[in-house]
Chains A and B, each alone.
Chain A
Amino acid sequence: MAVIIPSSTPTTLAQTIGSILTALIDAQAQSARTTIDFVNEIGFMRDPSDQTDKLRSVQFKYSKLDENNERKEFIVDIPLLALVDIPVIAIKTAKIEFEYDVVSTQVQQASAATAATGSGMPLGIVKERTILKGVVPRKGTNESEKAVLKISIEIEKSPLPIGLDKAMNILEVASSEEKKLDNA
C-alpha cells in the first residue's frame, strides 16, 4: 500500500515522490487484480457437484440449413468470456506537479543520513549529506484549494497478456455448435 503524504509532518523529497510512484505501481497492481477478478467472476462458475470451476457459457438457438439442406435448429454454446471485452487497463503516463516547501535542512553524517532517509542505501564516498525535509503545502481553506498535488494520468487499454490471450484462443475452440435433435 502506498505511503500517504502527510500534510504537516515534514518528509524528504524521496519519501514524497517515492510515495507517489509506489501509489502508481499499486494502482497498476490493483488494475491487474481487477482484471483477474473480472475473469474469475464472469468467466467461471463453481460446479457444486465436484467443486471445480467450469466455464460459464451462454447458449442460444438458431436455425439454418443442415448438411442435408434441411432447415434445422441448432444450439450454440459459447464461453461468456469470449463475448465480453476483458478490461486490461494500464497507466501510460502520469504527470505529477506539486510544490514542496522546504522546512528544514540538516547536514548529517553518512550513517545517520542513511537512516534518516529510510532507504538503507549506502552513501558511498559521500561522508556528509544535506537532508532536506519539507511539506506539500495546502493553499487556502476552501476544499477546492487544498489539492496542491496535481496528478494527471493517461491510461490506456493494454493488449491482453500473452497467457490470457492464449486462454482466449482455447475458449474459441471450446465454443460448440450442436444440431438440435427432432425429439429434443
Chain B
Amino acid sequence: MPKLSEVLGSLLRDLAESRVAADSLSKQYADAYSQDPLLSHFPVPRISVKDVTLRLRFAVAEQVIAQPNVQDKEFIDRLWAERVAGAMLPSLLAAMGAADQPEVADRLNAKIAQLAASRDLAISSALSGSASEATRRTVALLVSARNSLPAKLRAKLPADRIFTPAAQRGVREALAEFVPKAQRIVAARAALRSELDIVIAKAELQQVPESQVQELTVTLGADDIHLAGPPSLVGK
C-alpha cells in the first residue's frame, strides 16, 4: 500500500513534470518562431498553471502514529533555553533590578546555552500540563547560571532576586505562550515519522465502505510548484 505522503509527493511531482512537458513544447515553438520572419514577431505560446485543486479520495489501510521521542524533547528544551536566554532574559533581569548590567546579561546568556545543552531542562514535561514543574526548572536553570558567574558579578545579582514573584510570573507567562507552539512543533516532528498507508486505486477503493473513504483537498498556487525563474523564451 502506498503511503499518503508518497501519493501526495507523486501528485506534486506529476504536476511539476506536466509543466516541464509544456515548457519543453514552448521551447520548441520558440526555436521555430525564431526561424520564421513573421512568427518571430509573435509571443511564444506558453502556459503557466495558476492554481491547482486536487481532491483526493482514499481510505486509510494502516496508520502508525509516532509518539514524541527523546530527540523531540531535547529539541523543545533547547528552544526554550534559547528563548530564555534571548527574549526573556532582558525582562527577567529588569524584574531582578539588574537591567543595567550588560556584562551580567552576556555571561548569563552564554551560561544558559551551555547548561541547556548539557542537562535535561524538562520543559517538555510542561507539554502534558505540568507547567509548575517547567517554571521551577526554568528558575533552577537561572539559579545555576547565576551561581556559575564570577563572585564579582554574582554580587550584582543577589540570589533572592531570582525568586521574586515578578520574575516567576514572567517565566509563567512566557511558558503559557511557548507551550502551544511547542506542542505543534512536537506534533509536526512526530508526524514526519508517522506513516499512513492508504488505499487509492479505484478497484480497491470500491471495496471499502463509503463511510471509511476520506477526502483530502489540496490547493496549490503557482508559486508552490514553481521550480525556477521563468525562462526567457523570446528569441534573441
A17:B14 contact, CB within 8 angstroms: yes
Instruction: Determine which residue in A15, A33, A105, A121 has the highest number of CB atoms from chain B within 10 A of its CB, and name it.
Output: A105
Instruction: Give chain B residues whose Cβ lies under 8 Å from the Cβ of A39.
Output: 38
> Which B residues lie within 8 Å of A164 (CB)?
38, 41
Partner of B29, one of A14, A29, A129, A131: A29
A101/B17 in contact, CB under 8 A: no
Which of A12, A25, A90, A129 meets B25, CB within 8 Å?
Answer: A25
A49 CB within 8 Å of chain B: no
Residue ID in chain A nearest B24 by CB atoms: A22
**CB within 8 Å of B: which of A93-114?**
93-94, 101-105, 107
Interface flag for A162 (CB, 8 Å) = yes
- Residues of A with C-beta under 8 A to B200: 102, 105, 132
Give Cα A36–Cα B41 distance, bound, in whole angstroms.
10
- The answer to whether the Cβ of A24 comes within 8 Å of any Cβ in the partner chain is yes
Interchain nearest-CB distance for A86 vs B (Å): 12
Q: Is B40 part of the binding interface, using a Cβ–Cβ cutoff of 8 Å?
A: yes
User: Across the interface, do A103 and B203 meet the contact criterion of CB distance under 8 Å?
Assistant: yes
User: A130, B7: Cβ atoms under 8 Å?
Assistant: yes
Cβ proximity bits A73-92 to B, threshold 8 Å, 1 near / 0 not? 00000000000000000110
Q: Which residues of A contact B9 (CB under 8 A)?
A: 126, 129-130
- B2: CB under 8 A from chain A? yes
Which residue of chain A lies nearest to B49 when distances are taken between CB atoms in the complex? A21
A20 CA / B21 CA spacing, docked (Å): 10
B43 touches A161 (CB 8 A): yes
User: How far is A29 from B31 in the complex, measured between Cα atoms in Å?
Assistant: 13
A107 to B2 alpha-carbon distance, docked (Å): 8
Known pairs A13-B14, A25-B29, A130-B9; A163 contacts B40 (CB<8 A): yes
* Closest partner residue, chain A, to B8 (CB atom): A130
Contacts of B203 in A (CB 8 A): 103
User: A1-60: which residues lie under 8 A (CB-CB) from chain B?
Assistant: 12-22, 24-29, 32-33, 35-36, 39
Q: Could you tell me the distance in whole angstroms from the C-beta of B122 to the nearest C-beta in chain A?
A: 36
Q: How far is the CA of A30 from the CA of B42 in the complex (A)?
A: 12
Set of chain A residues within 8 Å of B21, measured between Cβ atoms? 14-15, 18-19, 21-22, 119
Asked if B236 is at the interface (CB within 8 A of a chain A CB), the reply is no
Complex Cα–Cα for A26 and B196 (A): 40
Whether a CB of chain A sits under 8 angstroms from the CB of B172 is: no
Interface residues on B, range: 35 or more
Chain A nearest CB: distance from B75 CB in Å? 23
Instruction: Please tell me if B201 contacts chain A, counting CB pairs below 8 Å.
Output: yes
A94 to B22, CA, bound (A): 14
Is the beta-carbon distance between B41 and A163 smaller than 8 angstroms? yes
Residues of A within 8 A of B69 (CB): none
Chain A residues contacting B20 (CB-CB under 8 Å) are: 18, 119, 121
Asked if A117 is at the interface of the complex by the 8 Å CB criterion, the answer is: yes
Residues of B within 8 A of A117 (CB): 14, 17
B47 is contacted by which of A12, A15, A24 (Cβ under 8 Å)?
Answer: A24
Closest to A126 in B: B9
A73 to B200, CA, bound (A): 81
Decide if B10 touches A17 in the complex (CB within 8 Å).
no
Verify A17–B41 contact, CB threshold 8 A: no
Which A positions have Cβ atoms within 8 angstroms of B?
A: 12-22, 24-29, 32-33, 35-36, 39, 90-91, 93-94, 101-105, 107, 117, 119, 121, 126, 129-132, 134, 161-164
* 13 A-B pairs whose Cβ atoms sit less than 8 Å apart in the complex: A14-B13, A14-B15, A15-B21, A17-B18, A28-B45, A36-B39, A91-B47, A93-B50, A105-B2, A117-B17, A130-B6, A132-B200, A163-B41
Beyond contacts A33-B39, A121-B20, A132-B10: 11 other A-B pairs, Cβ-Cβ < 8 A, are A12-B14, A14-B18, A18-B21, A21-B49, A22-B21, A22-B22, A25-B22, A36-B39, A130-B7, A130-B10, A131-B10
B interface residues (Cβ-Cβ under 8 A, vs A) = 2-3, 6-7, 9-11, 13-22, 25-26, 29, 36, 38-43, 45-47, 49-50, 200-203
